[in-house]
Each structure stands twice: as structure tokens, then as C-alpha cells.
Amino acid sequence: MAIYGPIRERTLHKSSSWRTLSDFATGEEIFYKLRQLQKAISQQDALVGLSTVWKSLPTKANREIQKLEQEVRLLILNVTKEHSRGSSNEDDDCIKTKHNGLLRSIVNSARHCPASYRGSAEDYIVDNCKSIYFAGHETTAVTVTWCLMLLATHPAWQDRARAEALEVCRGGTELDVDVLRRLKTITMVIQETLRLYPPGSLIMREALKDFKFGGLDIPRGTIIQTAIPMLHLDKDVWGQDAGEFQPDRFANGAAAACEPSHMYLPFGHGPRICAGQNLAMMELKVVLVRLLTKFSFSRSPGYRHAPLFRLTIEPGFGMPLVVTKLP
Ligand code: HEM
């Protein structure tokens, strides 16, 4: 998901002005800088890199992070201002409504941001745009990447997933919600990918009051981090094959895959559970059906397996795959 629509769609509009194309370029620049920011933040030790005290120290890395944050902020606010100015051109308005619905909603809700929010309306806009990038874009993109690697490594599962994809697409069937719901094998493959490589790998909660946890006294204000991969790879919960790709363990759904069931939480847990989980599952299924019905995938000899923590868990040296067009 991106703040901006794809360029081909935009250039098809006759009224697509220079500004529309420049919006796309700005969008790309924002995404590029956010990616740099993600890298810079994740190069710090996760335990100290996210703490407020550490972030305020004038280290080289912190200065780089602050510079990128400032640049991203200005770019986002410039786009926002441009779109708030309105337009006299009817077609142009149509493009804005169609492609900037999300940006527009964020700007509108910034006018009524909750009293509990400590920043300004501008901070609210910037924070939400950044959230959509980190929460909504990187997570899904990196899941597809791991999924293709796992299917390339397990050709029997790739064949099963492709057979299902071809079956649902027979006769040019549209991929609507009902069709996507019937994709049992592909759903299991995605669930198992999210177990082995959960993109949102840390869940964080702040203690709002002093409390006891087991034998520990937890003071108010403590940030508690739960490392999802540790739960997802626990042999006591998943069995001796916890580290292996076995999508069948999800044959009866995610809740029945492990005991206790909340040890599987790729989308988090509780009131702050991922707001986009259903959208993410749909996006992943659509992308996999589209790819598997057209191409086959195998591992490239150049692939080096090195999952790396960069806020999401991503391949440390990229994901070269051998992609062959199906007859
Ligand atoms: C495979 C894809 C995705 C994964 C694995 C994922 C995972 C997560 C996780 C672990 C959290 C933290 C939940 C918690 O603290 O309990 C989260 C939060 C969130 N996600 Fe996702 N996510 C994905 C895709 C998306 C998409 C597509 C969107 C929206 C476009 C999205 C929007 C959000 C938002 C807004 C939050 C914050 C919710 C809140 O704090 O109330 N996510 N996600």
C-alpha cells in the first residue's frame, strides 16, 4: 500500500498535470528516505535504540536519524499543504479523491486529534503517514519476499499452492473476498511464513502504573518488549519441528495451531492488534495467486540466508530468485 497510486494509472488521466507526476516523485522520495530512516534506526541496539534518553544523545547515528526525520517531515507536510490548497479543476479533484483518500482522512482527523495525543496537528499527520509506511507497506512486502523464498525452497508446497491458485482462477474468476476465503493452502502457507518470519517482530507496551509480573516489580513508565520470534519458535509450544516450514500445522486454523493459542501473534494481541490484518491477508493472497499462476520460483545459488532485524525481519542480502515464466 502506498500513499500514492501507481504511475501508469496516473499518466492515463488526460488532466494528469505536472503536479501529479511531481507528487509521485515526491512520494518515491519520501519512501526512499523512510527506508534510509528504517535502516539507520535498526542499526542501533534494539534495547537502547528506541529509548527516549538514548535518542537524545548527540551520537553520529542519532544526528543522521534526526536529519532524515526532519527531511521526511518537511516532504510530507509540503505534499499535505499542496493538497489542502484545493483545485478549480474538476478532473483534478477526481484524481485527488481517488488517490489521496487516505492522506485526506489523516489530514481531516488531525483537526480533531485525541486529547491524549501529545504532539501538534502537524506531528499527527507526519506520525500517521510514517505508520502507514512502516506498518502497512514494509510488513506486507517483506512477507511476500519470505513466502516466495519458502515456496522456492519447498517445491511440493509451491505446486500445491499453484494448483489451488489455478483452480480458483479457472474461467477468469474475479478474485473477490469469497474466492480469497476459499484459498486454504495459500492461507496456511502465509500463516506459516508469518510464524517463521514475523515482520512486526517486537510488540511494545508501556506500563501505565506500577505492577508485579511474576516475581518482578515493574515500575510505571517501563517499556515492555515481547520478541514475537521467540514465541513462534518455542519447541515446547510448536514441537521439535518448530524451526521447519510445515504449513499443515495451520490446517485447522491459527487458533488450533499451538497451545496456548496466543503464542502465535504475527499481528499482535489485544486492543492494539494490527488494524490492517485483514487487508494484509487479502493483499498477500492476491499477490501470491497472481504470481503463482504466471511464474515458478526456485532458489538462486547467490542467495545467502541471513534474516536481519531492521524493525521488520528482512533478508540481509536481498532475495535473488530464479523466476521462470510458466507455459
Ligand atoms: C503481513 C502484514 C502485517 C503484519 C505482520 C503486521 C503486524 C503488526 C503488528 C505486530 C502490530 C502491533 C500490534 C500490537 O502491538 O499488538 C501492528 C500494528 C498496526 N498495523 Fe499492522 N501488520 C501488517 C500489515 C498492516 C497493514 C497492511 C496495515 C494498514 C494498511 C497495518 C496497520 C497497522 C496499524 C495502524 C497498527 C497500529 C494499531 C494500533 O496501535 O492500534 N498493518 N501490525
Q: How far is the CA of 278 from the centre of ligand 1 (A)?
A: 10
Q: Sorting pLDDT into bands at 50, 70 and 90, what band is 210?
A: very high
Report the pLDDT value the prediction gives residue 130, as an integer from 0 to 100: 86
Report the pLDDT value the prediction gives residue 31, as an integer from 0 to 100: 85
Q: How far is the CA of 171 from the centre of ligand 1 (A)?
A: 35
Asked if residue 279 has its Cβ within 6 Å of ligand 1, the reply is yes
Residue 92 has pLDDT above 80, yes or no: no
Q: How far is the CA of 271 from the centre of ligand 1 (A)?
A: 12
Query: Which residue is closest in CA terms to ligand 1's atom 19?
Result: 274
Report the pLDDT value the prediction gives residue 80, as an integer from 0 to 100: 84
Domain hosting residue 49, numbered range: 4-325
The predicted-structure confidence for 135-146, as pLDDT tens digits, reads as follows 888 899 999 999
Catalytic-residue membership of 52:
no
Residue 108 has pLDDT above 80, yes or no: yes
Q: Are 110 and 121 in contact (CB under 8 A)?
A: yes
Report the pLDDT value the prediction gives residue 310, as an integer from 0 to 100: 78
Report the pLDDT value the prediction gives residue 100, as an integer from 0 to 100: 58
Residue 4 has pLDDT above 50, yes or no: no
Report the pLDDT value the prediction gives residue 85, as an integer from 0 to 100: 66
Give me the number of domains the chain comprises. Answer: 1
Which of residues 120 and 98 earns the better pLDDT score?
120
The predicted-structure confidence for 173-188, as pLDDT tens digits, reads as follows 888 999 999 999 999 9
Domain holding 283: CATH number? Answer: 1.10.630.10
Asked if residue 131 has its Cβ within 6 Å of ligand 1, the reply is yes
Report the pLDDT value the prediction gives residue 25, as an integer from 0 to 100: 82
The predicted-structure confidence for 237-292, as pLDDT tens digits, reads as follows 999 999 999 999 999 999 999 989 999 999 999 999 999 999 999 999 999 999 99
ipTM: 0.99
Q: Which of 72-76, 117-121, 316-320 has the lowest mean pLDDT?
A: 117-121
Report the pLDDT value the prediction gives residue 235, as an integer from 0 to 100: 95
Catalytic-residue membership of 20:
no
User: pTM, whole model, 2 decimals?
Assistant: 0.82
Q: Which of 6-15, 103-112, 154-163, 315-324 has the lowest mean pLDDT?
A: 6-15
Q: Are 33 and 71 in contact (CB under 8 A)?
A: yes
The predicted-structure confidence for 28-38, as pLDDT tens digits, reads as follows 888 889 888 88
Asked if residue 315 has its Cβ within 6 Å of ligand 1, the reply is no
Asked if residue 199 has its Cβ within 6 Å of ligand 1, the reply is yes
Query: Which residue is closest in CA terms to ligand 1's atom 21?
Result: 274
Please give the helix or strand (H or E) that residue 324 lies within, else none.
Answer: strand 321-325
Which of residues 67 and 24 earns the better pLDDT score?
67
**Three-state SS at 20:** helix
Residue 20 has pLDDT above 80, yes or no: no
**Three-state SS at 147:** helix
Closest CA to 287 of 192, 183, 200: 183
Catalytic residue among 153, 274, 295, 309: 274
Report the pLDDT value the prediction gives residue 22, as an integer from 0 to 100: 58
Residue 3 has pLDDT above 50, yes or no: no
Q: Which atom of ligand 1 is nearest to the CA of 143?
A: 1
Closest CA to 266 of 204, 191, 189, 206: 191
Residue 47 has pLDDT above 70, yes or no: no
Would you state the cell numbers that stand for residue 125, as one nine-digit string?
Answer: 499527520
Mutate to test the pocket of ligand 1, among 1, 223, 267, 281 (most ligand atoms within 8 A of CB): 267
Q: How far is the CA of 86 from the centre of ligand 1 (A)?
A: 31
Q: Sorting pLDDT into bands at 50, 70 and 90, what band is 307?
A: very high
Q: Sorting pLDDT into bands at 50, 70 and 90, what band is 115?
A: confident
What's the distance, Cα to Cα, between the start and end of the chain in Å?
30
Report the pLDDT value the prediction gives residue 309, as an integer from 0 to 100: 82
Catalytic-residue membership of 274:
yes
Q: How far is the CA of 274 from the centre of ligand 1 (A)?
A: 3
Query: Which residue is closest in CA terms to ligand 1's atom 41?
Result: 272
Q: Which residues of 30-62 are buried (b: 16+ CB within 10 A; e: fewer)?
A: bbebbebbbebbbebeeeebbeeeebeeeeeeb
Catalytic residue among 139, 140, 193, 312: 139
Mutate to test the pocket of ligand 1, among 117, 129, 274, 287 (most ligand atoms within 8 A of CB): 274
